[in-house]
Amino acid sequence: MQLSASAHNPTAFIFLLPLCDLSNINHHVQSAATTKFKYPVVFWTPDKDIEKLVAIDKNLLYEKVYDKALGSLSINETNEIARIKAIICLLIQKKDALQYADLIRILRWRRNVSGASHRVIKAYS
């Protein structure tokens, strides 16, 4: 990804995939990207109700994305916009939390003479 070579620090990265659900590989990519970049990487897919978001623009966007008229799908635009705003607010909070995710890292396990194990922990500042 270009973002890995960039000095840009986005709040989140949202992939819009309105026509296909994720496979296990995609879930792994999402998790690995979030861990690497320290900001949320999310996929908005049919199982995340992306169709309702696209349906806010009934005439232009919905028909271009789905190649059909809106049909019987009924949405409350105010509620849908509020839902998306709430998701975005959570992404912002997650980004803040991810900035501190590696402050404490477990480096290795040690066993003492009595056989009990303990962790060696290093704090980063």
Least Cα distance to 18 among 38, 44, 55, 41 occurs for 44
> Does residue 125 have a pLDDT over 50?
no
User: Please, what is the end-to-end C-alpha distance for the chain in angstroms?
Assistant: 28
Structure pTM? 0.65
Token digits for 7?
């000095």
Q: Which tens digit of pLDDT belongs to each residue from 32-85? A: 777 777 778 888 889 888 999 999 887 788 889 999 888 888 889 999 999 999
Span 93-104, average pLDDT: 73
Listed by start position, the domains of the chain span: 2-123
Other Cβ atoms within 10 Å of 54 Cβ, number? 22
In this structure, are residues 50 and 17 in contact, taking their beta carbons and an 8 Å threshold?
A: yes
Looking at every residue in the chain, the average pLDDT score rounds to 77
Cα 57 from Cα 84, distance rounded (Å): 14
